[in-house]
Amino acid sequence: MPQLSARGASMPASPIRKLVPYAVQSKAAGKRVFHLNIGQPDIKSPKAAMDAIRNHDIDVLAYSHSAGNQSYRDKLSLYYQKHGMQLTAEDMLVTTGGSEALSFAMGSILDPGEEIIIPEPYYANYMGFATALGAVVRPVVSRIEDDFALPPISHLEALIGPKTRAILLCNPGNPTGYLYSKDELESVAALAIKHDIFIIADEVYREFVYDGHQHHSVLNLRGLEQHAILIDSVSKRYSMCGARIGLMASKNKALMATAMKFAQARLSPPTFAQIAAEAALDTPDSYFEDVVTEYRQRRNKVISRLNAMDGVTCPEPKGAFYCLAQLPVVDADHFCQWMLESFDHQGDTVMMAPASGFYTHAELGKHQVRVAYVLNLTDLDSAMDALEAGLKAYPHTL
């Protein structure tokens, strides 16, 4: 057999999707599987976006500009201005999902063997993108006992060396739902300026913030014009995961010119999806008010149910629609597989994402799972019933 690459062999499997075969088998056996493993909202996509696709008059489905449609980027600049970010169309690259934006950003600043610092637990695909580039993730551990707050800034600075090129933050966070304060962001900004490195800020959950808290973007911080890179996406904001439209933005012209070469190599982002994303920008604020209210109710339901279970600990997230729970099990990977393969509660079972895949040091997540509260309240209640029954029946508890 021809030899495969060492880089390919080192690519991590997705903790979000690796149990899919067991879920398929579970459904084939007649079980109802509640999918809490993936951030796929059940909220309807905005009507304006769907109408724009249905009512088009396109005769030739052509390439767009490699940076994305000019009309979309112009309209995006108005969206960002509403959030206090002064971005022009020339500061933006429309990408095929936020994933491609992250890949472009990392590819533009990281050579093989160079390093990026990321608070862990982190979105699992960050490791995948870094591995694909031959770059090295240097994790700094945030602890469930501290609600996954940013570790002391001295811990981040201790990791900075001659190969460090960036710090990556997800705000609000996936998988924890943690929302960084302005003070935390300013401390990271000072570090980036001091050591002349980049901050990559994944802000795709910007709209989903609860309990009167406020989201602060790195692009709102002074002095970061040459250091800040914004990653964004329509996937979660407008419940349009299948559109695959994201964004990379920065005021650093040399960086954006470099990223453009990656964009030209893949030709262009998808045309139809850009049309839908542009139309989605007309979505009224009431849409987000209703969605945030719904997610807050779902969060409250899940967090209260989890913390009422024997031996379970789960901090209350301030944003996004995920939480990371510590379970009284010997191995969460095995437990999640067992729930699909060997257990049901009145015909119901639950699919979750084992947290080991959200850490560089997998053992730190050995007893943890990520739960995405993206189902309606009735289904969440049923899912929590199944999980609670599963924890009581599982033979390998702590």
- Identify the bridge partners of residue 8 per DSSP, sorted by sequence position: none
Encode 278-295: b = buried (16+ Cβ within 10 Å), e = exposed: bbbbebeeebeeebbebb
- Identify the bridge partners of residue 200 per DSSP, sorted by sequence position: 168, 229
Q: What is the pLDDT of residue 321?
A: 98
Say yes or no: 19 and 65 in one domain. no
CB burial of residue 181 (10 Å; 0-12, 13-18, 19+): middle
Domain boundary among 280, 314, 334: 280
Q: At 353, is the secondary structure helix, strand, or coil?
A: strand
Say yes or no: 74 and 116 in one domain. yes
| Residue at 398 is within a domain | no
Say yes or no: 247 and 305 in one domain. no
| Residue at 40 is within a domain | yes
CA dist 223 to 194, 219, 227, 228, 231, Å?
11, 9, 8, 9, 19
Domain that includes residue 247, residue range: 59-280
Q: What is the pLDDT of residue 28?
A: 97
Domain boundary among 214, 247, 280: 280
Say yes or no: 221 and 360 in one domain. no
Task: State the DSSP H helix or E strand holding residue 324, giving kind and residue range, or none if neither.
Answer: strand 322-326
Residue 18 pLDDT level (bands cut at 50, 70, 90): confident
Say yes or no: 327 and 342 in one domain. yes
Say yes or no: 215 and 362 in one domain. no
Task: State the DSSP H helix or E strand holding residue 166, giving kind and residue range, or none if neither.
Answer: strand 164-170
| Residue at 267 is within a domain | yes
DSSP string, 136-149: EEEEEE--GGGTTP
Helix locations, the chain, DSSP H: 6-10, 20-28, 47-54, 70-82, 97-109, 125-133, 153-157, 182-195, 253-265, 271-280, 285-307, 332-341, 377-393
Does the pLDDT at position 293 exceed 90?
Answer: yes
| Residue at 53 is within a domain | no
Bridging pattern class, strands 322-326 and 368-372: antiparallel
| Residue at 138 is within a domain | yes
pLDDT tens figures, 95-112: 999 999 999 999 999 999
Domain boundary among 220, 248, 280: 280
Say yes or no: 359 and 211 in one domain. no
Does the pLDDT at position 14 exceed 90?
Answer: no
Q: Encoding tokens for residue 98? A: 């936020």
Does the pLDDT at position 312 exceed 90?
Answer: yes
Q: Do 368 and 325 meet the contact criterion of CB atoms below 8 Å apart? A: yes
CATH number of the domain encompassing residue 22: 3.90.1150.10
Say yes or no: 228 and 141 in one domain. yes
Say yes or no: 273 and 294 in one domain. no
| Residue at 358 is within a domain | yes
Residue 280 pLDDT level (bands cut at 50, 70, 90): very high
Say yes or no: 296 and 312 in one domain. yes
CATH number of the domain encompassing residue 65: 3.40.640.10
CA distance 366 to 356: 5
Compute the mean pLDDT over every residue in the chain, rounded to the nearest whole number: 97
| Residue at 221 is within a domain | yes
Q: What is the pLDDT of residue 398?
A: 82
Domain count, the chain: 2
| Residue at 147 is within a domain | yes
What is the number of residues in the chain?
Answer: 398
Q: What is the pLDDT of residue 17?
A: 83
**Lowest-confidence pick of 5-9, 43-47, 387-391:** 5-9
Say yes or no: 268 and 300 in one domain. no
pLDDT tens figures, 190-243: 999 999 999 999 999 999 999 999 999 999 999 999 999 999 999 999 999 999
Sheet holding 368-372, edge to edge: 322-326, 368-372, 353-354
CB burial of residue 84 (10 Å; 0-12, 13-18, 19+): exposed
Say yes or no: 210 and 303 in one domain. no
